[in-house]
Amino acid sequence: MLKPVDLRMYGLLLRPWGERDLDAIRRGLADPEFRRWNTINVPSPDEAGARDFLESRTTGWQCGEMASFAVTAPGAGGGAGAVLGHISIGMIDFDAHRSGRVGYWVLPEARGRGVATRALDALSRWAFRDLGLYRLELGHAIGNDASCAVAERCHYRHEGDLRGAMFDITGTPRDVHVHGRLAVDPPPRLSGVTVPGDNTTPHD
């Protein structure tokens, strides 16, 4: 089991998803750009799909296989504000390979503000420091230049391409661009932001 936590860094609050977030989840799943670049097995873009998404994220924490966060802008008093997007580490292997696979999306109204970049670096630092992981992997469909740029800004090196490694929502096979970052790689110095002492808080 993974203990859910809140992560505060780069002016963001990353917290576990909850029932209050169902509308934001549904909007994220229904976003055309999200669906354009994702796989055939993404949840449906409706309330049932949003609940499936939430249940799988809750189960991921309980089983120790996934750490999934709502990316939010801190509200008044430091509490959670508006949901900006999603970020997670899945396929966590604590034993043989000390690895995991990251994924993220940002809601349309929050794009262009560096949300994914800041969230990805915050999550990566936490995974290496607190989870003891050694390798994080990131894959995206070739042509998804926005996701590729986020990976590169966060020092996830391009390691190669996988032919026909995913089927998109139309059932069409797509090639995948693979990036990786190791715990021993130098962390990025993100333009315009500093790295304060990040704050990790256990979640009740």
User: Per-residue pLDDT tens for 14-25?
Assistant: 999 999 999 999
Q: Is residue 199 part of a domain?
A: no
User: Per-residue pLDDT tens for 40-70?
Assistant: 888 999 999 999 999 999 999 999 999 999 9
Q: Is residue 158 part of a domain?
A: yes
Q: Is residue 31 part of a domain?
A: yes
Say what the pLDDT of residue 74 is.
Answer: 79
Cα 73 to Cα 15: distance, rounded to the nearest angstrom: 11
Q: Is residue 102 part of a domain?
A: yes
Say what the pLDDT of residue 77 is.
Answer: 60
- Domain interval for residue 114: 5-194
Q: Is residue 190 part of a domain?
A: yes
The total of structural domains in the chain comes to: 1
Q: Among residues of the chain, what percentage have pLDDT more than 70?
A: 91
Q: Is residue 14 part of a domain?
A: yes
Domain CATH code at residue 116: 3.40.630.30
Q: Is residue 26 part of a domain?
A: yes
User: Per-residue pLDDT tens for 148-188?
Assistant: 999 999 999 999 999 999 999 999 999 999 999 999 999 99
Q: Is residue 203 part of a domain?
A: no
For residue 192, what pLDDT band results from cuts at 50, 70 and 90?
low
